[in-house]
Amino acid sequence: MDDKSNWITVGGYMDYDDSSLYTIAFYFTVTTIVTVGYGDVTPRNDAERIFCVILMLIGVISFSFLTSTLTSIITTMDANEALLEEKVSAINALKESGKLTDINLYNRLIRRVN
């Protein structure tokens, strides 16, 4: 292996200016971090690379937001269901203990809780 071998020489980027090299490096960094992969079609100039970076960041932010929102919804549903079960259990305990003898009141309470 040649001592001069690096990502710039292997990629054929020797004639690029510094800003283009930083754009290329940033593009590959973001592509790696968001786990998009490199694929068969890759951007060829700075504008395409910047567009791809923006698109990837929007995608990963959207996916993260969606995941957290769904997690919050499911957690809330579980908490509401647990609260409902607790109320029904309390009403049934009152009925079984003999403190709630009116069947109409019992039915109204169960309907109201549900």
Q: What pLDDT is recorded for position 1?
A: 53
What is the pLDDT confidence band of residue 19, given thresholds at 50, 70 and 90? very high
Q: Note the pLDDT of residue 37.
A: 82
Residue 112: what pLDDT? 83
The overall longest dimension of the chain from CA atoms, in Å, is: 91
How many structural domains does the chain have? 1
pLDDT of res. 25: 93
pLDDT digits (tens, 9 = 90+) for 52-101: 999 999 999 999 999 999 999 999 988 888 888 898 898 889 888 988 88
Nearest CA among 83, 105, 80 for reference residue 94: 105
Residue type, 57: L
Would 81 be classed as within a structural domain?
yes
The dihedral through the CA atoms of 63, 64, 70, 71 has a sign that is positive
Q: Which two tokens stand for residue 111?
A: 């309907």
On whether residue 90 sits in a domain, the answer given is yes
Would you say residue 49 lies in a domain?
A: yes
